[in-house]
Structure 1
Amino acid sequence: MIKKILLPAVLILISLGTIFAQERLVNKANEKYEDYSFSPAIDIYQKVLEKGYVSSDLLKKLGNSYYFNADYQQAAETYKRLVDEYESEVGPEYYFRYAQTLRTLGDYDRSDAMMSKFSDLTADDNRAVKYKSDTDYLAEIEKNSGRYELQPFEYNSVYSEFAPTFYKEGLIFSSDRDTGNLARYRHTWNSKDFLDLYKINADSVSENVVTKMDRTINTRFHESTSAITKDGNTIYFTRNNLKEGKFVKDDKGIIRLKIFRATVQDGEWASIEELPFNSDAYSVANPALGPNERMLYFASDMPGSFGESDIFRVTINSDGTFGTPENLGPNINTASRETFPYVTSKEILYFSSDGHVGLGGLDIFATKIKNNRFTDPIFNVGRSVNSKLDDFTFIFNEETREGYFASNREEGTGADDIYSFVENTPLVFDCFQQISGTVRDKISNEVLVGATVKVIDENNEEILTTITDSEGNYSLTIDCNQGNFVRALTEGYVPAEEYLGTSDGKPRIMDFYLERDTVTAGFGDDLAKLLQLSTIYFDLNKYNIRPDAEVEIQKVIAAMDKYPSLKIKVNSHTDSRGVDAYNLWLSQKRADSTVEYMISKGITADRLMGEGYGETRLVNECGNGVRCASDKHQLNRRSEFIILE
């Protein structure tokens, strides 16, 4: 009996011991994960999984650890298990990352299904907006593909090489190829050696020899992405947050990245200083100089960021000080990663992102900087520069059409490899659209000669202006890569405006119909003349409303609808032919029929009067006994619209 009691107790103790051991391992893995030590965290999480312990939190962190280490195959498998087994506990970001990993595997249908779920859960996320607005993204990417001829960088190794920078006749690049480092100097993010900066064919002892930059630049920890001035005398580079040779961690225990600047003194790099907008609380990395070297672009997760890393820029003042960093905005930055900026001599911004829709992992995108703004469409540069995996640190010489970038694609030599390329077909950034039309009075339909037509951008700045010709026509050519407002205006009228978004550049006809801002008239004025209406005529001996007259009366009705206090007296007339008494009766019938027509169209009777004047108010010499042509007599058979109030 005692044995029967002891056996279950022992089993319970063993089971509890196993659970406690697993929880300790999970806690240890979580500590590594929170410390960005993803490689050891992966090892521990996998051990726990092998022992049969699983939870949604474990799968989330394991999937993220693979994701941030660019092991997309393992990340996809982990996210799949998370979605399949814990769907109710899966937040939108995991659908997004799962979709990204599926793209790297070429499973675009499944990826699109996950992006659709992500979009349904986060309708306001700009990544969802971009995805929904470009559902045929693969076809768009194909349009830009095949423009580059690629070659491997002959100095790649079995380690990582990336972040090329033009320097003199050669390059500076980043690598972890120095295997002499002790294991304690390896980064726990990916268990790789720390990075240093190297140079080739620039200040080397001989040609085609890779040499490490001197110790004033390189430390035993990370130095990577760099930017250097054209004269070669100033370099900006990324380094771990160090003080007196020791790591500095933030409140969460994370070692951040900072940008440093060094200058050449007596042929050596000296005066190394960190930039003033660095912080112990966030990372600042991946510097790039604008074409005039007065603007520094960089990546950061500083306050004001939209996502995991955003691209910023800051002015470099003439005295070497800096302005205030500026986020490039939601057209460039998303809730994911935007990083590794590069700006060409023609102000084309290239950058890497996994927030914009691409082929998988980080893709390289390009956009034109216009008027110091980033409102143009963003182009995926296409295959073969972009692949299913990560593609980044793109640089390009627009004069030679040659450049370099890095990728971790499967056919590479090492973990990351540099590739050289020649661009055979440039991206087309400029888009022109012809817009034309006519400006008219809304009520009278008369053309408005000399009316002004303006093009105003989304920042309310006037870009173009023209005036209508003698026929009320205008024509303008606008930039269809950005949204514009087209506005027509002239004195005495309320301006009219229409918005044109980005387009394919096809010609567009835009007619404007302007309303008068007020009826500047007084008692006794003829409204028809003020509105520039055609005269309302009647046929001989008839008082019915002719079709041509109906069109003009409708314009009077429109004016009375617009100005509810307006009251009108309809004065009708005849020509001189016929008996005077008959003509007086006929003109009254014409006045009455006009008033009745207007009442039938919604104008109240208390706003209308009608009076016939027969032949007493002729407009020409065609009186009794005067021989006149029929068209002259026609001019007297008319109605007028006299303002009473």
Structure 2
Amino acid sequence: MKTISKHILLTFAILICGNAFAQIGKIQSVKDDYRDFAYVKTSEVLLEVANNGYRSSDLFQKLANSFYFQNKMEEASKWYGELMKLNEVIDPEYYFRYALALKGIKDYEGSDKWMEKFNSLKPNDLRSKAFISKVDYKSAIEEMSRDDIEIINLDINTPLSDFGTTEYENGIVFASARGGGRMYRWNEEPYLDIYLSEKKEDGTFEAPKSIGENVNTKFHESSAVFSPNGKYMFFTRNNYFKSRYKEDDSGINRLQLYRATLNDNGIWTDIHEIHFNSIDYSVAHPALNLTGTKLYFASDMPGTLGQSDIFVVDVNEDGTLGEPENLGSAINTEGQESFPFVNTEGDLYFSSTGFPGLGGLDIFVSKGADQKVVSGSSRNFLVENVSEPINSSWDDFGYFENLVTKRVYFSSNRDGGKGSDDIYTFEFPEIKLLVEGIVKDVKTEELIPGSTVVLFDEDGKELNRVTVGEDAYFKFDVDPEKEYLIRVEKEKYTTDEQRFTTPNRNQELIMELLIEKDEQQIEPCDDLAKVLDIPIIYFDFDKSNIRYDAEIEIQKVLAVLNKYPTMHIDIRSHTDCRGTAVYNEKLSDRRAKSTRAYLINKGIAEERITAKGYGESRLINECGCEPTNNSDCSEAEHQLNRRSEFIITSINGKTCDENVEKED
């Protein structure tokens, strides 16, 4: 687990663990060490006590916590499991931590079980709501996973902690414990400093150098970010300023934000504290938007929803800051949100333990979040897990991307690294997307050449158009992660359109555009029910009066009869085989004549309409009810036989001879 971010998390851990220590002298003897975050020594003592057979809720809580906060999830899950076996009343937060620890060892089924327990006790917790809203989150993450990118562990990583990268001039700036000096007893590594490493022509990096003695002190510094004009740098440091080291009433030294100014000699000077820093809470991990007008950061200041939240503040032209604002419950949970980053398109990246993920801190993104913040529009942020291989069952954080070079940096303490935290990088592969498809008749599925297919962007701006040939094929080049609309048009056909969003990887995008005739030629023997796409004309059970939903369909026939005064039709009503043949014939005949009477009542001359019921005598499939027929037909198959036909017997002097096979 990264060292500097744990201050925020550990503050809350101590408050949760407020129960008295067990009545065992050996546990009591390490109480002060535990409160001072000396978890390495404490865990060894607590582990010895537990291995000697002692069992208590307090012991297991503290032992599990000591491993949890060192990110040793296998050991943490073991001792949280022992805690659960006691079946004692505990703070629900332990269910959440146990769920995260199980994720850390990829026991996702077990993790979900304890998240459900956590949700049952704290249904209004934002972490519970996030879990319940994405019950199948693992499938969503797998679907978004990228197998076309290869992450690389940077050569400049050390066996110590290296993390939190941002590009600066021709290199990268990051935090590292490589500097030697006094040790930070929580993880027995040197305190962090900020380093700069120049990039070579071959893409590798020069040996890192300290960013400057004015910035780096004997305590922690990390998470630097630079204003667009390069004049200001914001960074994180312990509450140590002008040689004064400050702690709150409980003896905790918090994290604070500082601002440095670049002088004419290229040296960072004029270090200033940010005005909303406090001895009582932490402020850390700054990130600037493209224009440098908004600064995002993590804090547990008053108003925080969880262990740490993402806040935003206005940046004035002189580099001073306004008043912080919490981004709210769409971004923040009762868990830990930290390490924000905003790319040049305004997408907000951050790490969280509160949203469903793969374990530990996962990296999430809210597309377009900065535009919503800047414009003051509704904060309906949507949060997505960036998925594997960027995220893992370990801690993943400190995301940075350059959308021009497609270069990404992020930090992780996953297996296979060089140190406790390492910096990883990869380059997004070039994505070439082609959307292609064909235009077909929705009923006949025949190709429709001569159709015009038009491509629009999400705002309705026309980007391209093509008239398809005999193969009815179209294709357009499109960009990744964009919303488009495709519309197809053809004379005498209805217009259809489909809206779609392109993926962020190379893959086939194939679609069928289905349209139907809006103007059709009608001839004698045609069935108006098929021409007008009239479904079953429904009647109430055992009745023949016209229902309202049936009347709507018959109105279509009425409109055609009014348009073509020479048209004569024969109304034919059919049933399925269920019921007696005699009964079905009589019922269908009443229904056909009821339909005829309706049309006559609406002004159609009697001589233009004939009507007859045929019962079950003209089935259109094998769903008869005699023993020789198929008696296993489904309801849908029987329904095909319950139909009404409106056969054109004559029009414009032409009559229907049903004995003559009609040409297609």
TM-score > 0.5, shorter chain as reference:
yes
Deviations 1:118-174 (A, max 9, x none): 111111111111111111111100121115331111111111110111110100111
Deviation at 1:380, TM superposition (A): 0.8
2:291 equivalent to 1:286: no
Distance in 2 between the 1:334 and 1:176 partners?
Answer: 30
CA contact (8 A) 1:397 1:403 kept: yes
Q: Distance in 2 between matches of 1:260 and 1:302?
A: 16
Deviation (angstroms), 1:331: 1.0
2:331/2:381 contact within 8 Å kept: no
Deviation at 1:76, TM superposition (A): 1.0
- What is the SS of the residue equivalent to 1:189? coil
Alpha-carbon offset, residue 388 of structure 1: 1.0
TM-superposed deviation, 1:202: 7.3
User: Does 1:226 find its partner at 2:224?
Assistant: yes
Instruction: Name the SS for the 2:43 alignment partner.
Output: helix
Cα separation, partners in 2 of 1:387 and 1:425, compared to 1, 3 Å: farther
Q: Aligned pair in 2 of structure 1 residues 337, 478: CA closer, same or farther (>3 Å)?
A: farther
Separation (CA, whole Å) in 2 of partners of 1:197 and 1:104: 29
Contact in 2 for aligned 1:82/1:90 (Cα 8 Å): no
Aligned partners of 1:392, 1:141: CA distance in 2, in Å?
Answer: 17
2:233 equivalent in structure 1: 235
SS at match of 2:411: strand
Q: How many Å separate the matches in 2 of 1:60 and 1:111?
A: 18
Which protein has the larger Cα radius of gyration, Structure 1 or Structure 2?
1
Amino acid aligned to 2:138? L
Match of 1:263 in 2: 261
What's the RMSD between the two structures over aligned residues? 3.7
**Is the Cα–Cα contact under 8 Å of residues 314 and 324 in structure 1 kept in the other structure?**
yes
Pairing 1:166–2:167 present:
yes
Amino acid at match of 2:393: K
User: Residue 199 of structure 1 contacts residue 210 of structure 1 at CA under 8 Å; is this kept in 2?
Assistant: yes
- Look up the match of 1:216: 214
Name the residue aligned to 1:119: 119
CA contact (8 A) 1:148 1:425 kept: no
Residue of structure 1 in register with 2:309 after alignment: 310
Alpha-carbon distance, 1:314 to partner:
0.4
**Distance in 1 between residues matched to 2:149 and 2:105, nearest whole Å:** 23
2:193 corresponds, among 185, 193, 196, to 196
Closer, same or farther in 2 for the Cα pair 1:99/1:216, shift >3 Å?
same
Shift of 1:45: 1.9
1:389 aligns with 2:388: no
Query: What is the aligned partner in structure 1 of residue 425 from structure 2?
Result: 420
CA shift digits 1:250-271 (9 cap, x unpaired)? 1111110001000011321111
The question of whether the paired residues in 2 share the 8 Å contact of 1:36 and 1:254 is answered with: no
**Quick check: 1:153 aligned with 2:158?**
no
> Counterparts of 2:314 and 2:166 in 1: how far apart (Å)?
21
Q: Which amino acid aligns with 1:189?
A: W
Moved more, 61-70 or 405-414: 61-70
Question: Does the 8 Å CA contact 1:295/1:314 hold for their aligned counterparts?
Answer: yes
| SS of equivalent residue, structure 1 residue 149 | coil
Once the two structures are superposed, residues 403-423 of structure 1 have per-residue CA deviations (whole angstroms, 9 ceiling, x without a partner) of 100110111011111011112
What SS does the corresponding residue of 1:148 show, helix, strand or coil? coil
Query: TM-score w.r.t. structure 2 length?
Result: 0.60
Task: Give the aligned residue type for 1:251.
Answer: D
Q: Map 1:569-584 onto structure 2 (within 5 A).
A: none
Counterpart residue type for residue 384 of structure 1: P
Partner of 1:441: none
The amino acid across from 2:176 in the alignment is S
Letter in 1 for 2:283: V
Unaligned runs of 5+ in 1: 1-19, 435-474, 481-506, 508-544, 553-629, 634-645
Whether 1:254 and 2:259 are equivalent positions in the alignment is no
Q: Deviations over 1:425-445 (max 9, x none)?
A: 78x9x99799xxxxxxxxxxx
Identity level (%): 39
Q: Secondary structure at the match of 1:352?
A: strand
Q: Displacement, 1:243?
A: 3.9
- Where structure 2 has 5 or more consecutive residues not aligned to the other structure, the ranges are 1-20, 434-455, 461-495, 502-512, 514-544, 553-601, 606-664
Letter in 2 for 1:113: K
Q: Find the aligned partners of 1:333 and 1:27 in 2 and give their Cα distance.
A: 36
Which whole-Å CA distance do the structure 2 matches of 1:546 and 1:101 have between them? 65
- What SS does structure 2 have at the residue aligned with 1:387? coil
| Distance 1:90-1:312 versus aligned 2 partners, 3 A rule | same
CA–CA separation in structure 1 for the residues paired with 2:604 and 2:110? 79
Determine the C-alpha separation between the residues in 1 that align with 2:83 and 2:604: 90
Post-superposition CA distance 1:17-57 (Å, at most 9, x none): xxx99744323433222233322322332233344433211
Partner of 1:130: 130
Q: Secondary structure at the match of 2:372?
A: coil
Deviations 1:569-628 (A, max 9, x none): xxxxxxxxxxxxxxxxxxxxxxxxxxxxxxxxxxxxxxxxxxxxxxxxxxxxxxxxxxxx
Q: Deviation digits for residues 268-293 of structure 1, max 9, x if unmatched?
A: 11110110111000000001111110
* Partner SS state of residue 394, structure 1: strand
Distance 2:134 2:355 in 1: 10
Distance 1:262 1:36, change over 3 A: same
Q: Write the letter of the residue equivalent to 1:411.
A: G
Deviations 1:78-99 (A, max 9, x none): 1111111x22233211111111
Task: Give the Cα–Cα distance (whole angstroms) in 2 for the partners of residues 265 and 381 of structure 1.
Answer: 39
Q: TM-score, normalising length from structure 1? A: 0.62
Corresponding residue for residue 30 of structure 1: 31
Give the length in aligned residue pairs. Answer: 433
Does the CA-based 8 Å contact 1:332-1:374 persist in structure 2? no
Once residues 289 and 403 of structure 2 are traced to their aligned partners in structure 1, the CA distance between those partners, rounded to angstroms, is 14
| Paired residues for 1:266-345 under 5 Å | 266-267=264-265, 268-345=267-344
